[in-house]
Structure 1
Amino acid sequence: MSSHELGRWVPARPEDLAVMFAKADFPWWIAGGYAIEMAVGRELRPHGDLDVLVLRRDQTLVRDMLSDWDMHVADPPGVGWLRPWRSGEALEQPLHDIWCRRTPEAPWSVQLMLDEAEGAHWVSRRTRRVRLPLERVGRTSPTGIPYLAPEVQLFYKAKATRDKDETDFEAVLPLLDEPQRVWLSDSIAVTSPDHPWRQRLGPIDRT
């Protein structure tokens, strides 16, 4: 089933989400293409949705905060099937992709993504070998909106690159410092050792 058959999208803006999450007492980050745009400080392309990343351990807090929203989880992920995410239900791996809208009649506006954590470390849902201290996972925009660090977002985009992912990579590449490039190259190597982005990240100084 295509996303079109699942209903239309009118994505919220990062500013809208910041208002919705203003009272959140858990970490969250704008993700996807908007995160890359916030890193480079300009618009790059149109967006079909708005992604926000939260930690799986905080899912109950998110569900309670959006208790009056209509929320559906992709189960199984990547197949095109959605089912309601009921209040009080704990989503276990591999479930991580949740579509959100204000009412059943409204268009989808937010795509909520769950990721893993161990203590003070973020852990990729794709492999536990890729991780970072939580304080390095995000950045904050000049307007105070948290967003996913570009190297983390690019790691996720590297799985199956599309034209829009290439656009995002080229835009943010000049802004990555050496530690960011090292982490991104090493992280991509865990799942895709021959990925072309690794060469384009340039020679890595490990001295």
Structure 2
Amino acid sequence: MEVWKPLTVNEVKELFNKIPINWWIAGGWALDIYLGRKTREHDDIDIVILREDYLILQRYLYNNWEMYIATKGQLIKWEKDDNLDSQYDNIWIKKKGSSTWDFQVMLLDTEDNVWLYKRKNTVRKTIKDIGYKSSMGVPYLRPEIQLLYKGGSSLLRDKDSIDLENVIPKLKMDDLKWLRDSLAEQFPNGHRWITYLNRMIISKKTSKTL
């Protein structure tokens, strides 16, 4: 069993602000930053970067950190200056000599200045529109994009549905519609979250007319 002792959000900020790349907190922490409160415990901490920047990341971390590619239930040592195939997008990182993992980095696919959703690359946003920044200056993935990653996974976990219920009351109408439409594009035969999102959209429309 892999053991995690994740960095805090502030520790991630301190580390990544020294690296000349775009980065964003992702996962459940991104949603909690958006909500302004911690809604549940987090087993790990995720950061996303642009795929084009992965070697810059490695060069800045190489002296003090061990990096492994997580793929198909395996962890493969990421050697210095090794290029990563497009199939690899998940890197686990720990301090050299440590037995516990500190954070993981996911790689975002892009085309020119546009982010592509890997599971359905017709779903996209410009890179400048994929994140927000907290009042403390921490960049994080927009909640509708993070919920798409959760809802679009092959394994829909209980905590993902809880995250959805916590977040969507705060989402703007356009973001709710974007999430619904993106899920519908990935799942043309339906997805259980779409019904829930439609109800929320109707509720918001009704409340505006009252």
* TM-score (norm: length of structure 2): 0.89
* Greater gyration radius: 2
Q: Which runs of 5+ in 1 are unaligned?
A: none
Aligned residues: 197
Looking at structure 1, the residues matched to 173 and 20 of structure 2 have their Cα atoms a distance apart, in angstroms, of 32
Q: 1:25 is matched with which residue? A: 20
- CA shift, 1:50, in A, is 0.5
Q: Which runs of 5+ in 2 are unaligned?
A: 203-210
- CA shift, 1:104, in A, is 3.4
Looking at structure 2, the residues matched to 192 and 176 of structure 1 have their Cα atoms a distance apart, in angstroms, of 22
Poorly superposed stretches of 4+, deviation over 3 Å: none
Counterpart check, 1:140 vs 2:136: no
Looking at structure 1, the residues matched to 119 and 108 of structure 2 have their Cα atoms a distance apart, in angstroms, of 9
- CA shift, 1:154, in A, is 0.3
Write the deviation string for residues 162-196 of structure 1: whole angstroms up to 9, x where unpaired.
Answer: 11111110111011111111211111112223111
Give the percent of matched residue pairs that are identical in Structure 1 and Structure 2: 36
Write the deviation string for residues 122-177 of structure 1: whole angstroms up to 9, x where unpaired.
Answer: 11122211110111100111100000000000000002321111111011101111
Higher helix residue share: 2
Q: How much is the aligned-residue C-alpha RMSD, in angstroms? A: 1.4
Q: 2:111 is matched with which residue? A: 118
Equivalent residues of 2:93, 2:104 under 8 A apart: yes
Q: 2:198 is matched with which residue? A: 202
Alignment of structure 1 residues 44-193 onto 2, 5 Å: 44-68=39-63, 69-74=65-70, 77=71, 79-158=72-151, 159=153, 160-193=155-188
Looking at structure 1, the residues matched to 113 and 98 of structure 2 have their Cα atoms a distance apart, in angstroms, of 39
Write the deviation string for residues 5-48 of structure 1: whole angstroms up to 9, x where unpaired.
Answer: xx311011111100001122211000000001001111111111
**2:175 alignment partner AA:** Q
